[in-house]
Amino acid sequence: MAGISRKSRMLRRSRAMWVSRRVWQPRLVFWAGAISIGLISVLFALLADRAQALFHVVTGNEGGWRFYLPLMMTPLGFVLCAWLAHAFFPGSQGSGIPQAIAARHLRDDEDRSHILSLRLVVGKIALTVIGLLCGASIGREGPTVQVGASVMLQAARWGGMAQARGLILAGSAAGIAAAFNTPLAGIVFAIEEMGRAYESRTNGLVLTAVILAGLASLGLLGNYTYFGVAKETVAFSSDWPLVLACGIIGGGVGAVFSLLALKIGRRIRRWNALQPLRRALVVAAGCGLLVAVIGIASGGLTFGTGYTQARDAIEGTPLPALFFVEKFAAGLLSMISGIPGGIFAPSLAVGAGLGSTLGLVFGTATGTAALLGMAGYFAGVVQAPMTAFVIILEMTGNHDNVIALMCAAMLGYGTARLISHEPLYHALSRVFIADAIRRRRAEGAAAATLE
Protein backbone atom coordinates (compact mmCIF):
# COMPACT_ATOMS: atom_id res chain seq x y z
CA MET A 1 0.00 0.00 0.00
CA ALA A 2 2.84 2.39 0.85
CA GLY A 3 4.47 1.72 -2.54
CA ILE A 4 1.21 2.41 -4.37
CA SER A 5 0.70 5.63 -2.39
CA ARG A 6 4.26 6.78 -3.20
CA LYS A 7 3.77 6.09 -6.92
CA SER A 8 0.46 7.95 -6.85
CA ARG A 9 2.11 11.01 -5.28
CA MET A 10 4.95 10.90 -7.84
CA LEU A 11 2.43 10.64 -10.68
CA ARG A 12 0.43 13.63 -9.37
CA ARG A 13 3.66 15.65 -8.97
CA SER A 14 4.82 14.86 -12.52
CA ARG A 15 1.39 15.79 -13.89
CA ALA A 16 1.44 19.07 -11.94
CA MET A 17 4.91 19.87 -13.29
CA TRP A 18 3.80 19.07 -16.85
CA VAL A 19 0.68 21.26 -16.52
CA SER A 20 2.75 24.03 -14.94
CA ARG A 21 5.26 23.92 -17.80
CA ARG A 22 2.49 23.87 -20.39
CA VAL A 23 0.94 26.99 -18.82
CA TRP A 24 4.10 29.00 -18.10
CA GLN A 25 6.23 28.22 -21.15
CA PRO A 26 3.95 30.05 -23.62
CA ARG A 27 3.69 32.99 -21.23
CA LEU A 28 7.45 33.29 -20.84
CA VAL A 29 7.96 33.09 -24.61
CA PHE A 30 5.25 35.73 -25.14
CA TRP A 31 6.79 38.07 -22.57
CA ALA A 32 10.23 37.58 -24.09
CA GLY A 33 8.78 38.39 -27.52
CA ALA A 34 7.15 41.60 -26.29
CA ILE A 35 10.37 42.76 -24.59
CA SER A 36 12.32 41.89 -27.74
CA ILE A 37 10.00 44.13 -29.78
CA GLY A 38 10.83 47.04 -27.50
CA LEU A 39 14.57 46.41 -27.72
CA ILE A 40 14.52 45.94 -31.50
CA SER A 41 12.45 49.11 -31.90
CA VAL A 42 15.04 51.11 -29.97
CA LEU A 43 17.86 49.68 -32.08
CA PHE A 44 15.88 50.41 -35.25
CA ALA A 45 15.28 54.02 -34.15
CA LEU A 46 18.97 54.58 -33.39
CA LEU A 47 20.05 53.10 -36.74
CA ALA A 48 17.47 55.19 -38.61
CA ASP A 49 18.59 58.40 -36.89
CA ARG A 50 22.25 57.65 -37.60
CA ALA A 51 21.46 56.90 -41.26
CA GLN A 52 19.67 60.23 -41.72
CA ALA A 53 22.45 62.13 -39.97
CA LEU A 54 25.09 60.45 -42.13
CA PHE A 55 23.18 61.32 -45.30
CA HIS A 56 23.15 64.99 -44.37
CA VAL A 57 26.85 64.91 -43.45
CA VAL A 58 27.76 63.31 -46.79
CA THR A 59 25.63 65.67 -48.89
CA GLY A 60 26.84 68.76 -47.03
CA ASN A 61 25.27 72.22 -46.97
CA GLU A 62 23.31 73.91 -49.73
CA GLY A 63 25.56 75.48 -52.35
CA GLY A 64 28.49 73.04 -52.30
CA TRP A 65 29.11 70.36 -54.91
CA ARG A 66 28.29 67.61 -52.41
CA PHE A 67 24.76 68.99 -52.12
CA TYR A 68 24.07 67.53 -55.59
CA LEU A 69 25.32 64.04 -54.72
CA PRO A 70 21.72 62.79 -54.23
CA LEU A 71 21.22 62.99 -58.01
CA MET A 72 23.41 59.88 -58.18
CA MET A 73 23.24 58.57 -54.62
CA THR A 74 19.44 58.45 -54.21
CA PRO A 75 18.52 56.60 -57.45
CA LEU A 76 21.30 54.04 -56.85
CA GLY A 77 20.12 53.54 -53.27
CA PHE A 78 16.53 53.03 -54.43
CA VAL A 79 17.67 50.48 -57.03
CA LEU A 80 19.76 48.63 -54.42
CA CYS A 81 16.84 48.49 -51.97
CA ALA A 82 14.39 47.34 -54.65
CA TRP A 83 16.77 44.62 -55.88
CA LEU A 84 17.53 43.31 -52.37
CA ALA A 85 13.82 43.32 -51.51
CA HIS A 86 12.97 41.40 -54.69
CA ALA A 87 15.87 38.93 -54.58
CA PHE A 88 16.37 38.24 -50.87
CA PHE A 89 13.48 39.74 -48.87
CA PRO A 90 10.25 39.40 -50.88
CA GLY A 91 7.37 40.68 -48.78
CA SER A 92 9.41 43.50 -47.23
CA GLN A 93 8.34 46.15 -49.75
CA GLY A 94 6.38 49.17 -48.62
CA SER A 95 5.13 50.12 -45.18
CA GLY A 96 4.76 46.78 -43.40
CA ILE A 97 1.35 47.55 -41.93
CA PRO A 98 -0.53 46.03 -44.92
CA GLN A 99 1.52 42.84 -44.45
CA ALA A 100 0.50 42.61 -40.79
CA ILE A 101 -3.17 43.19 -41.68
CA ALA A 102 -3.02 40.58 -44.45
CA ALA A 103 -1.41 38.04 -42.11
CA ARG A 104 -4.39 38.32 -39.76
CA HIS A 105 -6.71 37.33 -42.62
CA LEU A 106 -4.58 34.42 -43.82
CA ARG A 107 -5.31 31.09 -42.17
CA ASP A 108 -2.28 29.05 -43.22
CA ASP A 109 0.98 29.49 -41.32
CA GLU A 110 3.04 28.97 -44.47
CA ASP A 111 1.21 31.83 -46.19
CA ARG A 112 1.88 34.06 -43.19
CA SER A 113 5.58 33.17 -43.23
CA HIS A 114 5.94 34.84 -46.64
CA ILE A 115 5.15 38.25 -45.12
CA LEU A 116 5.97 37.79 -41.41
CA SER A 117 9.22 36.08 -40.41
CA LEU A 118 12.51 36.68 -38.62
CA ARG A 119 14.21 36.84 -42.02
CA LEU A 120 11.95 39.75 -42.92
CA VAL A 121 12.72 41.43 -39.59
CA VAL A 122 16.37 41.63 -40.65
CA GLY A 123 15.53 42.66 -44.21
CA LYS A 124 12.95 45.28 -43.22
CA ILE A 125 15.26 47.01 -40.78
CA ALA A 126 18.32 46.87 -43.04
CA LEU A 127 16.55 48.09 -46.18
CA THR A 128 14.68 50.88 -44.40
CA VAL A 129 17.97 52.10 -42.94
CA ILE A 130 19.61 51.95 -46.41
CA GLY A 131 16.66 53.90 -47.82
CA LEU A 132 17.13 56.65 -45.21
CA LEU A 133 20.86 56.59 -45.85
CA CYS A 134 20.22 57.53 -49.50
CA GLY A 135 17.62 60.22 -48.77
CA ALA A 136 14.30 58.41 -49.26
CA SER A 137 11.23 60.12 -47.80
CA ILE A 138 10.20 57.18 -45.61
CA GLY A 139 9.67 56.39 -41.94
CA ARG A 140 10.50 53.51 -39.63
CA GLU A 141 7.17 53.34 -37.76
CA GLY A 142 5.22 51.23 -40.30
CA PRO A 143 8.16 48.84 -40.70
CA THR A 144 8.28 48.50 -36.91
CA VAL A 145 4.71 47.16 -37.04
CA GLN A 146 5.76 44.39 -39.44
CA VAL A 147 8.80 43.71 -37.27
CA GLY A 148 6.66 43.50 -34.12
CA ALA A 149 4.09 41.23 -35.76
CA SER A 150 6.86 38.97 -37.12
CA VAL A 151 8.56 38.65 -33.73
CA MET A 152 5.29 37.87 -31.97
CA LEU A 153 4.23 35.33 -34.59
CA GLN A 154 7.57 33.57 -34.20
CA ALA A 155 7.07 33.61 -30.44
CA ALA A 156 3.71 31.91 -31.02
CA ARG A 157 5.46 29.17 -33.01
CA TRP A 158 8.15 28.63 -30.38
CA GLY A 159 5.68 28.76 -27.48
CA GLY A 160 3.11 26.51 -29.11
CA MET A 161 0.43 29.22 -28.86
CA ALA A 162 -2.64 28.92 -31.06
CA GLN A 163 -3.81 32.55 -30.98
CA ALA A 164 -1.91 33.64 -34.10
CA ARG A 165 -4.32 36.43 -35.10
CA GLY A 166 -4.38 37.89 -31.60
CA LEU A 167 -0.60 37.71 -31.30
CA ILE A 168 -0.10 39.48 -34.64
CA LEU A 169 -2.41 42.20 -33.33
CA ALA A 170 -0.45 42.40 -30.08
CA GLY A 171 2.90 42.54 -31.87
CA SER A 172 1.66 45.31 -34.17
CA ALA A 173 0.40 47.38 -31.24
CA ALA A 174 3.67 46.86 -29.37
CA GLY A 175 5.59 47.99 -32.45
CA ILE A 176 3.68 51.29 -32.69
CA ALA A 177 3.91 51.88 -28.94
CA ALA A 178 7.67 51.32 -28.87
CA ALA A 179 8.36 53.23 -32.10
CA PHE A 180 6.69 56.45 -30.92
CA ASN A 181 6.70 55.91 -27.13
CA THR A 182 2.91 56.13 -27.35
CA PRO A 183 1.30 53.20 -25.47
CA LEU A 184 -2.28 54.47 -25.80
CA ALA A 185 -1.83 55.03 -29.53
CA GLY A 186 -0.55 51.46 -29.87
CA ILE A 187 -3.73 50.11 -28.31
CA VAL A 188 -6.02 52.40 -30.33
CA PHE A 189 -4.13 51.53 -33.52
CA ALA A 190 -4.64 47.83 -32.82
CA ILE A 191 -8.37 48.32 -32.32
CA GLU A 192 -9.10 50.83 -35.09
CA GLU A 193 -6.62 50.16 -37.88
CA MET A 194 -5.38 46.58 -37.47
CA GLY A 195 -8.58 44.95 -36.26
CA ARG A 196 -11.28 47.32 -37.56
CA ALA A 197 -13.34 45.69 -34.80
CA TYR A 198 -12.59 45.21 -31.13
CA GLU A 199 -11.82 41.64 -30.13
CA SER A 200 -12.22 41.28 -26.37
CA ARG A 201 -10.38 37.96 -26.35
CA THR A 202 -7.14 39.67 -27.37
CA ASN A 203 -7.28 42.70 -25.04
CA GLY A 204 -4.99 41.05 -22.49
CA LEU A 205 -2.45 40.12 -25.14
CA VAL A 206 -2.42 43.64 -26.61
CA LEU A 207 -2.12 45.37 -23.22
CA THR A 208 0.63 43.05 -21.99
CA ALA A 209 2.63 43.34 -25.20
CA VAL A 210 2.36 47.14 -25.22
CA ILE A 211 3.38 47.38 -21.55
CA LEU A 212 6.42 45.09 -21.88
CA ALA A 213 7.61 46.61 -25.16
CA GLY A 214 7.12 50.08 -23.70
CA LEU A 215 9.06 49.21 -20.55
CA ALA A 216 11.96 47.89 -22.65
CA SER A 217 11.98 51.09 -24.71
CA LEU A 218 11.71 53.33 -21.65
CA GLY A 219 14.53 51.47 -19.95
CA LEU A 220 16.90 52.40 -22.78
CA LEU A 221 15.64 55.80 -23.97
CA GLY A 222 13.74 57.13 -20.97
CA ASN A 223 10.33 58.80 -21.06
CA TYR A 224 10.27 61.22 -23.97
CA THR A 225 7.79 62.90 -26.32
CA TYR A 226 8.45 62.17 -29.98
CA PHE A 227 7.98 65.77 -31.17
CA GLY A 228 8.81 67.54 -27.92
CA VAL A 229 6.17 69.35 -25.87
CA ALA A 230 3.64 71.56 -27.65
CA LYS A 231 2.95 74.59 -25.46
CA GLU A 232 0.33 76.41 -27.51
CA THR A 233 -3.39 75.86 -26.97
CA VAL A 234 -6.20 76.18 -29.49
CA ALA A 235 -8.63 78.98 -28.65
CA PHE A 236 -11.96 78.01 -30.20
CA SER A 237 -13.27 81.59 -29.98
CA SER A 238 -10.69 82.72 -32.54
CA ASP A 239 -9.20 79.53 -34.03
CA TRP A 240 -12.34 77.68 -35.15
CA PRO A 241 -11.84 78.68 -38.83
CA LEU A 242 -8.35 77.16 -38.66
CA VAL A 243 -9.73 73.94 -37.14
CA LEU A 244 -12.23 73.66 -40.00
CA ALA A 245 -9.60 74.45 -42.66
CA CYS A 246 -7.01 72.01 -41.30
CA GLY A 247 -9.58 69.26 -40.96
CA ILE A 248 -11.27 69.65 -44.33
CA ILE A 249 -8.27 70.66 -46.45
CA GLY A 250 -5.93 68.28 -44.61
CA GLY A 251 -8.34 65.38 -45.01
CA GLY A 252 -8.84 66.16 -48.67
CA VAL A 253 -5.12 66.32 -49.40
CA GLY A 254 -4.56 63.13 -47.39
CA ALA A 255 -7.27 61.34 -49.37
CA VAL A 256 -5.64 62.45 -52.62
CA PHE A 257 -2.36 60.95 -51.41
CA SER A 258 -4.10 57.66 -50.61
CA LEU A 259 -5.99 57.62 -53.92
CA LEU A 260 -2.86 58.35 -55.97
CA ALA A 261 -0.83 55.76 -54.09
CA LEU A 262 -3.41 53.05 -54.79
CA LYS A 263 -4.06 53.92 -58.43
CA ILE A 264 -0.41 54.43 -59.40
CA GLY A 265 0.58 51.32 -57.45
CA ARG A 266 -1.94 49.20 -59.38
CA ARG A 267 -0.67 50.48 -62.71
CA ILE A 268 2.94 49.83 -61.75
CA ARG A 269 2.11 46.27 -60.66
CA ARG A 270 0.38 45.59 -63.99
CA TRP A 271 3.31 47.08 -65.93
CA ASN A 272 5.83 45.10 -63.87
CA ALA A 273 4.04 41.78 -64.43
CA LEU A 274 5.84 40.96 -67.72
CA GLN A 275 9.38 41.59 -66.40
CA PRO A 276 9.05 41.86 -62.63
CA LEU A 277 12.65 42.49 -61.56
CA ARG A 278 13.85 44.59 -64.49
CA ARG A 279 10.84 46.90 -64.53
CA ALA A 280 10.78 47.17 -60.74
CA LEU A 281 14.36 48.46 -60.84
CA VAL A 282 13.47 50.95 -63.58
CA VAL A 283 10.60 52.29 -61.45
CA ALA A 284 12.84 52.50 -58.38
CA ALA A 285 15.53 54.39 -60.30
CA GLY A 286 13.03 56.86 -61.77
CA CYS A 287 11.37 57.51 -58.41
CA GLY A 288 14.76 57.88 -56.72
CA LEU A 289 15.88 60.48 -59.26
CA LEU A 290 12.69 62.51 -58.81
CA VAL A 291 13.02 62.34 -55.01
CA ALA A 292 16.57 63.67 -55.36
CA VAL A 293 15.46 66.54 -57.63
CA ILE A 294 12.67 67.51 -55.21
CA GLY A 295 15.05 67.28 -52.26
CA ILE A 296 17.60 69.58 -53.89
CA ALA A 297 14.89 72.04 -54.98
CA SER A 298 13.57 72.19 -51.39
CA GLY A 299 17.01 72.89 -49.97
CA GLY A 300 17.29 69.37 -48.55
CA LEU A 301 14.14 69.64 -46.41
CA THR A 302 12.26 66.73 -47.99
CA PHE A 303 14.96 64.09 -47.53
CA GLY A 304 14.37 61.55 -44.76
CA THR A 305 11.47 61.18 -42.35
CA GLY A 306 10.60 64.87 -41.93
CA TYR A 307 10.85 64.51 -38.15
CA THR A 308 13.01 67.64 -37.71
CA GLN A 309 10.75 69.80 -39.86
CA ALA A 310 7.58 68.65 -38.06
CA ARG A 311 9.16 69.25 -34.67
CA ASP A 312 10.31 72.74 -35.69
CA ALA A 313 6.78 73.61 -36.83
CA ILE A 314 5.24 72.34 -33.58
CA GLU A 315 7.75 74.40 -31.60
CA GLY A 316 6.75 77.54 -33.50
CA THR A 317 9.13 77.84 -36.48
CA PRO A 318 7.13 78.37 -39.72
CA LEU A 319 8.00 76.02 -42.57
CA PRO A 320 8.32 77.21 -46.20
CA ALA A 321 4.87 77.75 -47.71
CA LEU A 322 5.27 74.96 -50.30
CA PHE A 323 7.10 72.48 -48.08
CA PHE A 324 3.99 70.32 -47.70
CA VAL A 325 3.63 70.05 -51.51
CA GLU A 326 7.28 69.01 -51.93
CA LYS A 327 7.14 66.54 -49.02
CA PHE A 328 3.84 65.14 -50.35
CA ALA A 329 5.46 64.42 -53.73
CA ALA A 330 8.66 62.97 -52.20
CA GLY A 331 6.65 60.71 -49.90
CA LEU A 332 4.38 59.49 -52.70
CA LEU A 333 7.35 58.73 -54.98
CA SER A 334 9.17 56.88 -52.19
CA MET A 335 6.06 54.81 -51.50
CA ILE A 336 5.32 53.77 -55.08
CA SER A 337 9.00 53.03 -55.79
CA GLY A 338 8.65 49.62 -54.14
CA ILE A 339 11.39 50.07 -51.54
CA PRO A 340 10.73 49.18 -47.88
CA GLY A 341 9.71 52.15 -45.75
CA GLY A 342 6.72 53.61 -43.96
CA ILE A 343 4.57 56.71 -44.42
CA PHE A 344 3.77 57.58 -40.78
CA ALA A 345 6.51 60.16 -40.11
CA PRO A 346 6.49 61.65 -43.64
CA SER A 347 2.69 62.03 -43.43
CA LEU A 348 2.96 63.82 -40.10
CA ALA A 349 5.59 66.11 -41.65
CA VAL A 350 3.28 66.88 -44.61
CA GLY A 351 0.45 67.63 -42.18
CA ALA A 352 2.68 69.90 -40.10
CA GLY A 353 3.76 71.74 -43.26
CA LEU A 354 0.17 72.12 -44.46
CA GLY A 355 -0.91 73.38 -41.04
CA SER A 356 2.03 75.80 -40.93
CA THR A 357 1.00 77.25 -44.30
CA LEU A 358 -2.65 77.56 -43.24
CA GLY A 359 -1.50 79.19 -40.02
CA LEU A 360 0.25 81.89 -42.07
CA VAL A 361 -2.94 82.41 -44.10
CA PHE A 362 -5.13 82.71 -40.97
CA GLY A 363 -2.54 84.61 -38.94
CA THR A 364 -2.44 81.92 -36.25
CA ALA A 365 0.47 80.59 -34.18
CA THR A 366 2.51 78.05 -36.16
CA GLY A 367 2.58 75.39 -33.43
CA THR A 368 -1.21 75.29 -33.11
CA ALA A 369 -1.70 75.17 -36.87
CA ALA A 370 0.91 72.42 -37.31
CA LEU A 371 -0.83 70.18 -34.75
CA LEU A 372 -4.22 70.61 -36.40
CA GLY A 373 -2.75 70.06 -39.85
CA MET A 374 -1.12 66.83 -38.71
CA ALA A 375 -4.42 65.54 -37.31
CA GLY A 376 -6.46 66.41 -40.41
CA TYR A 377 -3.96 65.15 -42.97
CA PHE A 378 -2.99 61.94 -41.17
CA ALA A 379 -6.65 61.04 -40.57
CA GLY A 380 -7.24 61.62 -44.28
CA VAL A 381 -4.38 59.35 -45.36
CA VAL A 382 -5.08 56.33 -43.14
CA GLN A 383 -8.79 56.99 -42.41
CA ALA A 384 -8.26 56.19 -38.74
CA PRO A 385 -9.28 59.36 -36.82
CA MET A 386 -8.89 57.98 -33.29
CA THR A 387 -5.34 56.80 -34.00
CA ALA A 388 -4.58 60.20 -35.55
CA PHE A 389 -5.51 62.39 -32.62
CA VAL A 390 -4.35 60.00 -29.88
CA ILE A 391 -0.92 59.52 -31.45
CA ILE A 392 -0.46 63.29 -31.92
CA LEU A 393 -1.55 63.99 -28.34
CA GLU A 394 0.96 61.49 -26.96
CA MET A 395 3.75 62.62 -29.28
CA THR A 396 3.43 66.27 -28.29
CA GLY A 397 2.60 65.95 -24.59
CA ASN A 398 -0.18 68.57 -24.69
CA HIS A 399 -3.63 67.42 -23.59
CA ASP A 400 -5.21 70.87 -23.68
CA ASN A 401 -5.96 70.45 -27.40
CA VAL A 402 -7.94 67.20 -27.18
CA ILE A 403 -11.24 68.54 -28.51
CA ALA A 404 -9.61 70.58 -31.28
CA LEU A 405 -7.55 67.63 -32.48
CA MET A 406 -10.58 65.34 -32.35
CA CYS A 407 -12.54 67.81 -34.49
CA ALA A 408 -9.72 68.17 -37.03
CA ALA A 409 -9.25 64.38 -37.20
CA MET A 410 -12.97 63.69 -37.65
CA LEU A 411 -13.29 66.41 -40.30
CA GLY A 412 -10.26 64.96 -42.06
CA TYR A 413 -11.73 61.46 -41.91
CA GLY A 414 -15.15 62.58 -43.16
CA THR A 415 -13.64 64.53 -46.05
CA ALA A 416 -11.39 61.61 -46.99
CA ARG A 417 -14.35 59.21 -47.09
CA LEU A 418 -16.03 61.45 -49.66
CA ILE A 419 -12.98 61.28 -51.94
CA SER A 420 -11.60 57.76 -51.36
CA HIS A 421 -13.73 54.93 -49.97
CA GLU A 422 -10.79 52.53 -49.56
CA PRO A 423 -8.66 52.86 -46.42
CA LEU A 424 -5.07 52.83 -47.68
CA TYR A 425 -3.56 50.07 -45.55
CA HIS A 426 -6.49 47.71 -45.97
CA ALA A 427 -6.55 48.19 -49.74
CA LEU A 428 -2.82 47.43 -49.88
CA SER A 429 -3.24 44.38 -47.63
CA ARG A 430 -5.46 42.79 -50.30
CA VAL A 431 -2.46 42.72 -52.64
CA PHE A 432 -0.63 40.37 -50.26
CA ILE A 433 -3.75 38.25 -49.73
CA ALA A 434 -4.15 37.94 -53.51
CA ASP A 435 -0.48 36.94 -53.83
CA ALA A 436 -1.02 34.17 -51.27
CA ILE A 437 -4.08 32.90 -53.17
CA ARG A 438 -2.17 32.89 -56.49
CA ARG A 439 0.73 31.09 -54.88
CA ARG A 440 -1.62 28.43 -53.51
CA ARG A 441 -3.27 27.94 -56.90
CA ALA A 442 0.11 27.66 -58.63
CA GLU A 443 1.25 25.07 -56.11
CA GLY A 444 -1.99 23.15 -56.56
CA ALA A 445 -1.65 23.22 -60.36
CA ALA A 446 1.97 22.03 -60.11
CA ALA A 447 0.97 19.18 -57.80
CA ALA A 448 -1.87 18.16 -60.15
CA THR A 449 0.54 18.13 -63.11
CA LEU A 450 2.96 15.84 -61.27
CA GLU A 451 0.16 13.42 -60.46
In this model, does residue 38 exceed pLDDT 90?
A: no
Using one digit for the tens of pLDDT, what is the confidence trace for 68-114? Answer: 899 999 999 999 999 999 999 998 898 888 998 888 888 888 888 88
Whether 448 is in a domain gets the answer: no
Residue 396's pLDDT is 78
Query: Which helix (H) or strand (E) element contains residue 23?
Result: helix 2-59
Using one digit for the tens of pLDDT, what is the confidence trace for 146-169? Answer: 998 899 888 877 766 667 777 888
247 with 114, same domain? no
Whether 317 is in a domain gets the answer: yes
d(CA 407, CA 247): 7
Whether 330 is in a domain gets the answer: yes
Q: Please state the rounded mean pLDDT for residues 337-350.
A: 92
384 with 411, same domain? yes
Whether 72 is in a domain gets the answer: yes
206 with 281, same domain? no
91 with 170, same domain? yes
261 with 285, same domain? yes
Whether 102 is in a domain gets the answer: yes
197 with 313, same domain? no
137 with 45, same domain? yes
Using one digit for the tens of pLDDT, what is the confidence trace for 365-384? Answer: 888 899 999 999 999 998 88
Structural domain span for residue 350: 236-426
120 with 38, same domain? yes
Helices (H) and strands (E) in the chain, counts: 18, 0
- How far is CA 217 from its chain centroid? 17
77 with 133, same domain? yes
Q: 2 versus 358: which is more confidently predicted? A: 358
Whether 14 is in a domain gets the answer: no
Using one digit for the tens of pLDDT, what is the confidence trace for 407-445? Answer: 999 999 999 999 888 888 888 999 888 888 888 877 777
Among candidates 342, 333, 294, which has minimal Cα distance to 175?
342
Q: In sequence order, what are the beta bridge partners of 139?
A: 342
Task: Supply the CATH number for residue 249's domain.
Answer: 1.10.3080.10
Residue 18's pLDDT is 46
Cβ density class 175-190: b for 16+ within 10 Å, e for less: bbbbbbbbbebbbbbb
Cβ(373)–Cβ(246) under 8 Å?
yes
Q: In the listed set 174, 193, 221, which residue is the last one of a domain according to the structure? A: 221
Whether 451 is in a domain gets the answer: no
Q: How many independent structural domains does the chain possess?
A: 2
Whether 411 is in a domain gets the answer: yes
Residue 258's pLDDT is 94
- State the pTM of this model: 0.88
d(CA 178, CA 173): 9
What confidence tier does 199 reach under pLDDT thresholds 50, 70, 90? low
Non-local (6+) Cβ contacts of 425 within 8 A are 95, 97, 98, 101, 193, 382
What confidence tier does 19 reach under pLDDT thresholds 50, 70, 90? very low
Q: Please state the rounded mean pLDDT for residues 215-234.
A: 68
266 with 179, same domain? no
Q: Where are the alpha helices (DSSP H) in 190-235?
A: 203-221
Q: Please state the rounded mean pLDDT for residues 232-238.
A: 71
d(CA 378, CA 375): 5
188 with 329, same domain? no
Using one digit for the tens of pLDDT, what is the confidence trace for 43-52? Answer: 998 999 999 9
71 with 141, same domain? yes
